[in-house]
Structure formats: C-alpha cells, structure tokens
Structure 1
C-alpha cells in the first residue's frame, strides 16, 4: 500500500508545479505565447506546453486564463513596451514621436520576439467570449493616446508646436502609425522598410524646433 501511495505522490509531483518553478520565468513564457497568438488564439494547451505546467498548477499560481492574460499584459507594458514612458520625456514633440516610433520598430521586428505589438494585434478581432479582453486592450491604446495628447499639449504651451495644431489628432496620428507598423511587422516587413515609413511620417511633423 505504501509503495502505491508513494507512486501516486510521485505522479502528482511530476504533473504539478515544476520543482524549479519561477514565477517570473513562467509569466514570461505566458506573455510570449499571448503576444504571438493573442488572447483568443491562445489555448490552455498552448500555455501548458509553453509554461511547462499543468492546468491546475497554472490556475493555482496565476488564476484562470483571463487573470493570467492580465498579468502577462502588465508585464508587457512594464517590460518590452516600457519605451513609451522614456519617449515622453524627450525635450521636443518631434523627438517624442521619433523615439517612440523608432523604438517600436526595433521591438516589433526583433528576431527573438513575436512580431507585432501584443496590445494592437490582440485587439484586432475577437469573438464574443473575448470581448472583455478586447475592450481592455482598446483601453490601453486609448490611454497611450491620452499620454501623447498631454505631452503635445505641453509642447504647444511651450511653443514647440504651432498654436493651431490639434493635439488630439496629432496623438492619434502617432498611434495610427504605430498600429500600422505593428500590422506590417506581423506580416513580415523588415526593420529597414519600417524605418523608412517612420522617416516619411516624421517629415510631415508640424514642428521641428530643436528636432535633432
């Protein structure tokens, strides 16, 4: 009887949380999987394989799929996508936009990372069951636009942008270029090709005061 109990315990250990379980490493693998396939396109089977954990262990450590996605999304925003905050600190509106788009191209075309932006790609098309996640991703994008508008309002107050500039439209312009870059990167566009797009976009910037 004891031998049978030991065998059962051994099976549970092998199927449960790995002995060397590392929360950050497991979450990183989940983030990469969601980044590659989107929320709806990522199955629990894919997460189990990527994280090397069984379903009960994933639920115990991270919660359900929705909770895990939320944690992975936060990791993406504070990690790979954190260059947005750095870009907003640039001294001119021109450099804010240029740094943001340049860093975006670098990230979204990395060979070692999934192509495209996790926030953009994940919100493009979702079924009814993923509608809440889609709305969450759209809210993230809207927040980014709001941060750009706030920064461009400051630039306008400092005479870095002309008084007639519509800062809401300018913020959406930057966001739209970024979203286009994400889709193009996902489709296989090269870094050089996308940087040419950034260069063209920056040529139409309303002000180049202290641009370089």
Structure 2
C-alpha cells in the first residue's frame, strides 16, 4: 500500500492514466491541420488529445510550443515525401516524386485536405504571428532542400547549364503550394495529377 501511494505521489499532476504522448501529439497535429493555428482552440485540442489543459501544458508547453512539436511530427511523417524525393537519382525524378507526394498528401481521404504547412497560418492576427513565421520558415526550408539537390544535379550535368537550381526549387514549391490550396477547395486527385503533368512538361532536359 505504501509503495502504491508513493507511485501515485510521483505521477505528474493532471496527467490521465495511460496517457500516450505520441498519440496525443498525432491528434493535435490533425486538429491544427484541419482548423489552422488560430482556428484550433484549446478546447478543440484537449478534447481531441483526450487530456486536460493541465496535462497539455505539462507535456507540451503552451499552444505555440504544441504547434511547433506538431509541425515537427508533420515534417517527419505526412510531409516526409519531400525528404524521400530529394534522394531520387535524377533531378527529373526528384521533381516527379515531390509533386506526386504533394498530390498524394493533400488529397488523401485518410487525412485533412491540403497541407498543414501551407494553410496552417497563412493569415493570422498578432497572436498567431509566431506560427505564421514558423510556417513561412518551414516552406523556405523545403525550397532550400530542393535547391541543394538541384545544385548537385547541375554540377554533375544532370541539369543543363541554362537551368537555375534556385528557380527550379522555387517553381516546384510554388506548384506544390498551389496544389494544396486547390485540394482544400475540393479539387480531386486526378485533376491535380493533370496539373503536375503539365508542370513537369516545362522541366529542363540535360
């Protein structure tokens, strides 16, 4: 009995029995993905996570910190197609993989429509400024990832001398962001795949 009392005394206050931090974070990520940073209220988040506000603050910090952790999870999980795409052997295959990943993610029936990194905080008031800036930096990180890969392709002759790696990276990110916006508006996968084929028609050949 004494040992049980000591165990209960050491347990974090407000954390429910069986609390799964990974599962709670996954659910929070989906709330942010569906409703955006400002649209996701604390009640929405805690209800989806199955915990109290006290537990949320104890495990993840405030809403801004929770959003940051959710974005990290999104990058390593649903949005990991970008990291996989840049490992393709040719620049053309990188572009194809990146856009195919964008279409697959934003139109998946198993997930909220669109992209957390695009619509999560495009337009926010002052309280949402940190999230808006975090997502702007996140999208720029994606551009940098593509840029670095295309510079390698240029150096090995996989891209023609006239192709600018920075412009190509920005081009792909712009198309992918547009795909996300269209998906939120209800445009289906087949139509967006047609868009990617058209976009890749302008891809430079070595």
Q: Please, what TM-score do these two structures have when normalized by structure 1?
A: 0.89
The residue aligned with 1:185 is: 183
Q: Which runs of 5+ in 1 are unaligned?
A: 1-14
The residue aligned with 2:10 is: none
Q: Does 1:168 align with 2:166?
A: yes
Q: Which runs of 4+ in 1 moved over 4 A?
A: none
Q: What is the CA deviation profile of residues 50-90 of structure 1, one whole-angstrom value per residue up to 9, with x for unaligned ones?
A: 11111111111111111111111100001111111110011
Alignment of 1:51-130 (within 5 A): 51-130=49-128
Q: Tell me if the contact between 2:92 and 2:203 (Cα under 8 Å) persists in the aligned partners.
A: yes
Equivalenced residues, count: 196
How far apart are 1:16 and its partner, in Å?
Answer: 3.7
The residue aligned with 2:7 is: none
Q: Tell me if the contact between 2:86 and 2:149 (Cα under 8 Å) persists in the aligned partners.
A: yes
Cα distance in structure 1, aligned partners of 2:45 and 2:29: 10
How far apart are 1:36 and its partner, in Å?
Answer: 0.7
Q: Does 1:50 align with 2:48?
A: yes
Q: Does 1:145 align with 2:143?
A: yes
Q: Please, what TM-score do these two structures have when normalized by structure 2?
A: 0.91
Cα distance in structure 2, aligned partners of 1:56 and 1:38: 22
Q: Which runs of 5+ in 2 are unaligned?
A: 1-12
Q: Tell me if the contact between 2:121 and 2:128 (Cα under 8 Å) persists in the aligned partners.
A: no
Cα distance in structure 2, aligned partners of 1:111 and 1:20: 29
How far apart are 1:123 and its partner, in Å?
Answer: 3.2
